[in-house]
């Protein structure tokens, strides 16, 4: 694929070399630069400093807070990944109100919403011409409804930006796996979404695919998808399986402290990505995607900034049993500092419920979260922190604080329209007549926030210890953030003490519960909420009274999305079962026998 928006290497680099390039005649590479053979590390560092975002990437970065809306057939089945066999009739929200979503999100400070127009189950939330598997075949509004349109209209009314998630992986489309046919099908869907709903600001292509070794193999035509977006919505950013916005690498709301938007990671939609990223031994989940060590080895560099996607609940879709597990204010605050405060955009998922409304618990938490941020940001204690400071390596600048300042947060910003440059900095406070270290960091980028103990000071001193060309510091601010207590975790997922349990077989895992009990659910909770290649993905669950005669309990047999979101997954049974022994026969995402430990299993007793 051709990289669009690529500007030519400027004459001063091609000609006399770097010596001739002064700060005045600084030239930039929009979105991408290739390092010609023989480029020295010093030259690469200088070029890296001048890779800049496209106008839409810059606008996107400034959004800071964006919201995901996972809504669809899974909302009505209780699953995280539907398998495409669902009856579309079951989609029937009783009081869907897209204005309720947008109004609440707007009031909570969110600047864009992205709707799962189609998730992996293939069910379309708009009346598409491409398949019957859509709202048109549902009971909702007698098949005359269009969720995408309702959301679009609400966004227009409230001045909210609007994006669509369209899953490439489709478990319903009969042509999925017949590559040319499905690619056309996907382009037709994309064309409808990008033609009939006004401006679309972000197009989100999920990379997830749980087909496994024996599943259908679809070769996606990313180039054609890319061109469709360029043609129909040239101002939209293309996320994840796209080259404008990069997946941070986890679904826990955790960015990197060192986060380079100018990165050596080649976007997955480019044919050369496997070769490039393979040679550098990196992927989306790597810690280092932009250091000098990486630059030394890389042949090209991209402006490909990070987006942190995470759900306000354990799952991406609404499940009533998670109503008590909406993330705490403390957790959301940490996520905020570890996303927006780590040079990323936060994409927080708030899934509408079966009524078609954002649940009261989520709204209450969003309001708390917004109030917390507003209170903190209301007073910036730094005087004149908004003056542009062009800082050479080693430069320091003092900032006067307002009288009687008590602070515990510092915020720094680079003018990324001129590239991302800072590699290391320190901040000191003038306390009791002397300079005292307050905090230090590596990258800044669009925004970096640091928290530290409450400090009363008269002045701050920021030092740029290492930078790629002169840094353009456009904001230095300081705030006071109220302490926020963690509420005790009420997310109990095991209702029977393991003291009396015994593992009688390891593979598959058989547990003697020590007594015969009535069960209505079991839970699989990967240890330390961490994914590993040996974890369970597909499974069968059996119960027995004597450890010899086994009865399989009907389940959907899949811990959907557990690889990316390794949180406890509770499987509710259709009816209560009696068990003294339980057996979990599971395979990994690559279809080898899974290794599950007793401590990773919980049971829920029937009342
Ligand atoms: C993942 C998907 O598999 C999840 O269901 C969810 O949509 C998340 C945002 O991306 O890859």
Q: How far is the CA of 104 from the centre of ligand 1 (A)?
A: 23
Which of ligand 1's atoms lies nearest the C-alpha of 116? 7
Q: How far is the CA of 208 from the centre of ligand 1 (A)?
A: 6
State the 10-residue block means of pLDDT for the chain, 607 residues long: 36 37 71 97 98 98 98 97 97 98 98 98 98 98 98 98 98 97 98 98 94 92 97 97 97 97 97 97 97 98 98 96 94 98 98 98 98 98 97 98 96 98 98 96 98 97 98 98 80 86 95 96 92 95 96 94 90 94 96 95 92
Residues across the chain = 607
Other CB atoms within 10 Å distance of the CB of residue 78: 17
Mutate to test the pocket of ligand 1, among 169, 207, 565 (most ligand atoms within 8 A of CB): 565
Q: Which of 552, 542, 537, 548 is nearest to 586 (CA)?
A: 537
Q: What HEC string does 309-358 produce? A: EEECCCCCCCCHHHHHHCCCHHHHHHHHHCCCCECEEEEEECCCCCCCCC
pLDDT of residue 490: 54
Burial string for 576-594 (b: 16+ CB within 10 Å, else e) reads: ebebbbbbbbbbbbeeeeb
* Whether pTM exceeds 0.85: yes
- Which residues does ligand 1 sit against, CB inside 6 Å? 80-81, 206, 208, 309, 316, 561, 564
pLDDT of residue 307: 98
Which of ligand 1's atoms lies nearest the C-alpha of 207? 11
CA distance 206 to 548: 43
Which of ligand 1's atoms lies nearest the C-alpha of 210? 3
CA distance 316 to 310: 8
Q: Whose CA is nearest to atom 11 of ligand 1?
A: 208
Q: Whose CA is nearest to atom 10 of ligand 1?
A: 206
Q: How far is the CA of 122 from the centre of ligand 1 (A)?
A: 13
Inter-residue contact 591 to 214 (CB < 8 Å):
yes
Inter-residue contact 374 to 93 (CB < 8 Å):
no
Which of ligand 1's atoms lies nearest the C-alpha of 81? 5
pLDDT of residue 16: 34
Q: How far is the CA of 598 from the centre of ligand 1 (A)?
A: 27
Which of ligand 1's atoms lies nearest the C-alpha of 119? 7
CA distance 97 to 128: 21
Q: How far is the CA of 293 from the centre of ligand 1 (A)?
A: 32
pLDDT of residue 466: 98
Give the Å distances, CA to CA, from 212 to 170, 206, 217, 535, 555.
14, 16, 9, 14, 19
CA distance 584 to 562: 16
pLDDT of residue 607: 79
CA distance 585 to 510: 9
User: Which sign, positive or negative, has the C-alpha torsion 348, 166, 55, 46?
Assistant: positive
Residue 163: phi, psi to the nearest 5?
-135, 160
Q: How far is the CA of 119 from the centre of ligand 1 (A)?
A: 8
Q: How far is the CA of 206 from the centre of ligand 1 (A)?
A: 7
Which residues make beta-bridge pairs with 124? 118, 134
Which of ligand 1's atoms lies nearest the C-alpha of 70? 7
Cβ neighbours of residue 422 closer than 8 Å, sequence gap 6 or more: 414, 442, 443, 444, 445, 464, 466, 467, 471, 473
Mutate to test the pocket of ligand 1, among 206, 210, 558 (most ligand atoms within 8 A of CB): 206
Q: Whose CA is nearest to atom 1 of ligand 1?
A: 208
Other CB atoms within 10 Å distance of the CB of residue 575: 8
Assigned token pair, 248 = 């941070």
Half-sphere exposure of 198 (CA within 13 A, CB side): 14
Q: Whose CA is nearest to atom 4 of ligand 1?
A: 561
Q: How far is the CA of 417 from the centre of ligand 1 (A)?
A: 31
Which residues make beta-bridge pairs with 524? 569, 601
Inter-residue contact 445 to 416 (CB < 8 Å):
yes
Q: Whose CA is nearest to atom 2 of ligand 1?
A: 208
Which of ligand 1's atoms lies nearest the C-alpha of 167? 7
CA distance 375 to 377: 6
Cβ neighbours of residue 482 closer than 8 Å, sequence gap 6 or more: 372, 375, 376
Cβ neighbours of residue 44 closer than 8 Å, sequence gap 6 or more: 35, 295, 296, 298, 301
Inter-residue contact 454 to 426 (CB < 8 Å):
no
Q: How far is the CA of 12 from the centre of ligand 1 (A)?
A: 45
Q: How far is the CA of 488 from the centre of ligand 1 (A)?
A: 28
Please give the span between the terminal C-alpha atoms of the chain, in angstroms, as a whole number: 59
Determine the number of helices (DSSP H) and then strands (DSSP E) in the chain: 12, 25
Q: How far is the CA of 389 from the centre of ligand 1 (A)?
A: 41
- DSSP codes joined into one string, 431-499: ETTEEEEEEEES--TT-EEEEEEEEEEEEEEEEEEEESSSEEEEEEEEE-----PPPP-------S-GG
CA distance 233 to 203: 9
Q: How far is the CA of 499 from the centre of ligand 1 (A)?
A: 36
Q: What HEC string does 66-100 produce? A: EEEECCCHHHHHCCCCCCCCCCHHHCCCCCCCHHH
Q: How far is the CA of 165 from the centre of ligand 1 (A)?
A: 10
Mutate to test the pocket of ligand 1, among 80, 82, 122, 251 (most ligand atoms within 8 A of CB): 251
């Amino acid at each position: 694929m051709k990289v669009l928006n690529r500007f030519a290497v400027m004459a001063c680099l091609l000609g006399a070399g770097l010596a001739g390039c002064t700060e005045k005649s600084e030239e930039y590479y929009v979105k991408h630069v290739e390092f010609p053979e023989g480029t020295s590390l010093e030259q690469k560092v200088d070029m890296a400093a001048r890779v800049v975002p496209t106008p839409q990437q810059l606008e996107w970065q400034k959004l800071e807070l964006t919201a995901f809306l996972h809504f669809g057939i899974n909302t009505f089945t209780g699953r995280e990944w539907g398998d495409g066999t669902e009856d579309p009739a079951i989609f029937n929200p009783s009081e869907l109100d897209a204005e309720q979503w947008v109004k609440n999100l707007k009031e909570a400070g969110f600047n864009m919403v992205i709707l799962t127009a189609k998730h992996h189950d293939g069910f379309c939330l708009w009346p598409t011409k491409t398949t019957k598997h859509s709202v048109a075949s549902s009971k909702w509004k007698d098949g005359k409804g269009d969720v995408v349109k309702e959301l679009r209209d609400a966004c227009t009314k409230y001045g909210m930006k609007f994006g669509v998630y369209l899953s490439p992986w489709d478990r319903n489309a009969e042509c999925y796996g017949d590559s040319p046919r499905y690619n056309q099908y996907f382009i037709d869907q994309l064309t409808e979404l990008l033609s009939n709903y006004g401006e679309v600001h972000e197009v989100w292509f999920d990379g997830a695919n749980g087909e496994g070794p024996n599943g259908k193999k679809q070769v996606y035509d990313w180039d054609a998808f890319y061109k469709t977006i360029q043609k129909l919505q040239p101002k939209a950013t293309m996320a994840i399986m796209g080259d404008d916005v990069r997946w941070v690498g986890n679904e826990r709301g955790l960015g990197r402290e060192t986060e380079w938007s100018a990165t050596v990671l080649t976007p997955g939609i480019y044919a050369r990505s496997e070769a490039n990223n393979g040679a550098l031994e990196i992927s989306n989940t790597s810690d280092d995607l932009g250091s000098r060590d990486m630059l030394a080895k890389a042949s090209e560099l991209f402006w490909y900034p990070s987006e942190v996607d995470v759900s306000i609940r354990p799952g991406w879709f609404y499940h009533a049993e998670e109503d008590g597990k909406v993330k705490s204010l403390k957790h959301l605050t940490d996520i905020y500092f570890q996303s927006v405060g780590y040079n990323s955009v936060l994409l927080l998922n708030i899934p509408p419920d079966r009524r078609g409304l954002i649940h009261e618990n989520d709204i209450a938490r969003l309001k708390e979260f917004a109030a917390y941020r507003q209170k903190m940001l209301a007073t910036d204690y730094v005087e004149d922190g908004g003056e542009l400071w062009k800082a050479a390596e080693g430069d320091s600048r003092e900032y006067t604080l307002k009288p009687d300042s008590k602070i515990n947060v510092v915020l720094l910003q680079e003018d990324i329209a001129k590239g991302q440059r800072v590699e290391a900095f320190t901040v000191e406070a003038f306390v009791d007549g002397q300079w005292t270290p307050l905090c230090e960091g590596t990258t800044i980028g669009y925004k970096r926030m640091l928290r530290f103990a409450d400090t009363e000071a008269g002045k701050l001193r920021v030092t740029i210890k290492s930078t790629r060309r002169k840094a353009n510091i456009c904001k230095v601010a300081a705030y006071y953030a109220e302490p926020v207590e963690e509420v005790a975790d009420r997310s109990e997922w095991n209702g029977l003490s393991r003291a009396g349990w015994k593992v009688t077989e390891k593979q598959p895992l058989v547990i003697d519960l020590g007594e015969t009990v009535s069960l209505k659910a079991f839970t699989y909770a990967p240890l330390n909420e961490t994914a590993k290649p040996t974890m369970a993905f597909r499974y069968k669950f059996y119960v027995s009274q004597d450890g010899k005669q086994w009865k399989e309990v009907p389940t959907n047999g899949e811990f959907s999305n557990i690889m990316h979101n390794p949180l406890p997954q509770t499987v509710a049974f259709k009816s209560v079962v009696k068990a003294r022994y339980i057996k979990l026969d599971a395979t990994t995402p690559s279809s080898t026998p899974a290794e599950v430990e007793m401590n990773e299993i919980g049971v829920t007793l029937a009342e």
